[in-house]
Structure 1
Amino acid sequence: MTHTLRDLNATVEQLWPTRFAEDWDRPGLTSGDLDDQVTRIHLAVDAVAQTVGEALNIGADALIVHHPLLLRGVTSISTEHYKGSLLTRLVRGGCALIAAHTNADIVPGGTSDVIARRLGLQDVTPLVAGERPGTGLGRVGRLPVPTTLGRLTLSLAEFLPATATGIRVSGGYDTPVTRVALCGGAGDSLLGHESVLRADVYITSDLRHHPASESREQALVSSGPALIDVSHWASEWLWLDEAAGELRSALPGVDVTVSELRTDPWDFVVTQ
């Protein structure tokens, strides 16, 4: 059975409808001819030189990424600029580019849902409910067996891909943990959410100094969660396998591969 980019784009829209993405987001088809045949799809978190090169080297007809390459407006796609260079390489190589971002975060099997499953959370609900039942940003649930903050962090380290920055934690190693709130990707905007405040720990990425400090100081006055800050790339890379499985089921005969390249931007750290 043959499939076209039109079929793939329709499948992506069915799995992760762009109309439910955040208003600021720009997911969907970025480049490609809808009538082109698709026999191989490659998935990655980011469209960068390495992943574009990888997709072209394996003969992929489409590269599906989590982060939109054209999230912010550009006025030129000249090859003097890296976005123009990447798009030129993809077009010349006959490889389409599609992004599934916040529209893929909110669904069952999305970025946050995958982490919740890996942790074995029970009674899981979205932190911020979406327009459709069962969808929404982030997840909150309880561990089947209470643990400590340190042991929970070690569990995360077992299934998250390794990065130079590792996992940062704010809270005592032996702090009891039962209720877990989490958000794949950057989630400090949810630090004040009532479900986060009621959790024993909040797991997310890209926590900035002031929001994190204010959250922990407030916890000393009243209550609030311990914090676990993981790599943004690592927290979303887990979703790729789930997405690949869904695409294989929807498009029989299409070869779907997942990039193992680390596109986390940090290469090394110096501890003091």
Structure 2
Amino acid sequence: MENWISGERLIQRFEEWAPKKLAYEKDKIGLLVGTLHKKVKRVMVTLDVLENVADEAADKQADLIIAHHPLIFHPLKNVRSDEGQGKIVTTCVKNDIAVYAAHTNLDIAEGGVNDMLAAQLGLKDTQILQPTYHEPLYQLVVYVPQSHAETLRQVIGDAGAGSIGNYSHCSFSVPGSGRFLPQSGANPYLGSVEKMEKADEQRIEATVPEHLLRTVVAKMIHAHPYEEPVYQAIPIQNKGKAYGLGRMGKLPEAMPFERYCRLVKEKLGIDGLRAVGPADARIRTVAVSGGDGNSLIPFAKYRGADVLISGDIYYHTAHDALLCGLNVIDAGHYIERVMKEGVKQYLTRVIKEEHSDTEVLISESVTNPFRFIV
């Protein structure tokens, strides 16, 4: 019997990688057309949702399209079935194809679009170019009998609590005395009903990132001997893991800008690119942003990049780059098609973990609106 994953579960697992909270505030991400309340036999991954993509999805009987660029970004004034975006929406609705978009959240996510591009370009020692989000941290505080303190520390550490830099299982403990009076109906681990009990306990503290808090607390409660463990999860000011736009890394060796432009063209598989800067400039430190990189020019310059590779650079922004001495490569927005293979690999792994027979397809439709005429 074939086992299809539900659309809700598939997207839930996808958002473990690229959660919506990473996206820019006004970004049009998430479910844009259709419903996820159904089984998904085939999911198709695409950069853009154009008419040829919708037709391809219908021909291949896909139940869900996962795209990087949102199909509906600006409000539609109408949904006509014979032209424009309305024609695309109509095709998807008629064929019961849901359309889901992961845009800036997939750019920012660890292992997302910008990390894929950095890997394709062969950059080493990569780091975030512009931090946009730090995951909140909590201080988990729990009181436990001395007899179970070591076990509980191990359990919450194994679940991810107490990870600081290159260290794991970090915690702090203070011994003390716990007092409680079991009431009628209680089944106390220590003491007797209607009799005040005093117990040697430890107060254990450990930091927990927000995305692991529910898991750590659940495992702590399961391992705790008391019927009603006393614990707190307190927000703290320390900054958690950073996420952000763009990546910056190193080339194995420096090379002239002209030569590097040709290397970028080869590695990204593009027909041409636009270059800003002198041909003999030395390039070693590279910043990359798959989409609009205009706002990242100051960050790239400040962080010491020799060149910024972007999908979109404006004319006057190119002047600004020249004035500040930053070389720029406008490789075109279509370089973000690298996400198709990356998302397929992630979904394939998820589907295997879910023991599902759902098939993952990569759209073969070309959605690049530009072509080079030499």
Alignment of 1:123-162 (within 5 A): 123-129=125-131, 130-132=133-135, 133-162=241-270
Choose from 341, 346, 351 the match for 1:246.
346
Is 1:102 aligned with 2:104?
A: yes
Q: Secondary structure at the match of 2:31?
A: strand
Between 1:104-113 and 1:257-266, the stretch displaced more is 257-266
- Report the counterpart of residue 203 of structure 1 in structure 2: 309
CA deviation after TM superposition for structure 1 residue 265, in Å: 1.0
Distance 2:109 2:11 in 1: 17
Choose from 267, 275, 282 the match for 1:169.
275
Choose from 91, 94, 112 the match for 1:92.
94
Contact 1:196–1:202 (8 Å) recurs in 2: no
Amino acid in structure 2 at the alignment position of 1:16: A
Alignment of 1:1-272 (within 5 A): 1-129=3-131, 130-132=133-135, 133-163=241-271, 166-193=272-299, 195=301, 198-216=304-322, 218-219=323-324, 224-233=325-334, 235-252=335-352, 253-269=357-373, 271=374
CA deviation after TM superposition for structure 1 residue 194, in Å: 5.4
Contact 2:17–2:110 (8 Å) recurs in 1: no
Q: How big is each residue's C-alpha offset from its partner over 1:223-244, in whole Å with a ceiling of 9 and x where there is no partner?
A: x3211111101x2101211111
CA deviation after TM superposition for structure 1 residue 155, in Å: 2.0
Q: How big is each residue's C-alpha offset from its partner over 1:18-48, in whole Å with a ceiling of 9 and x where there is no partner?
A: 1220012011111223222101111111110
TM-score by length of 1: 0.90
Do the aligned partners of residues 194 and 9 (structure 1) sit closer, same or farther apart at CA in structure 2, a change above 3 Å counting? closer
Distance 1:247 1:195 in 2: 36
TM-score by length of 2: 0.66
Q: Secondary structure at the match of 1:24?
A: coil
- Report the counterpart of residue 206 of structure 2 in structure 1: none
Distance 2:301 2:248 in 1: 7
Q: Secondary structure at the match of 1:199?
A: coil
CA deviation after TM superposition for structure 1 residue 138, in Å: 0.2
Unaligned runs of 5+ in 1: none
CA deviation after TM superposition for structure 1 residue 199, in Å: 1.0
Distance 1:90 1:151 in 2: 45
Contact 1:188–1:208 (8 Å) recurs in 2: yes
Q: Which has the higher strand share?
A: 2
Distance 1:210 1:52 in 2: 36
Q: Which has the larger radius of gyration?
A: 2
Unaligned runs of 5+ in 2: 136-240
Distance 1:114 1:175 in 2: 26
Which portions of structure 1, spanning 4 or more consecutive aligned residues, are displaced by more than 3 angstroms?
A: 194-197
Contact 2:292–2:312 (8 Å) recurs in 1: yes
Contact 1:198–1:225 (8 Å) recurs in 2: no
Do the aligned partners of residues 144 and 162 (structure 1) sit closer, same or farther apart at CA in structure 2, a change above 3 Å counting? closer
Q: Secondary structure at the match of 2:44?
A: strand
Distance 1:111 1:37 in 2: 27
Q: Secondary structure at the match of 1:214?
A: helix
- Report the counterpart of residue 152 of structure 2 in structure 1: none
Distance 2:266 2:301 in 1: 26
CA deviation after TM superposition for structure 1 residue 174, in Å: 3.0
Q: Secondary structure at the match of 2:369?
A: coil
Between 1:27-36 and 1:189-198, the stretch displaced more is 189-198
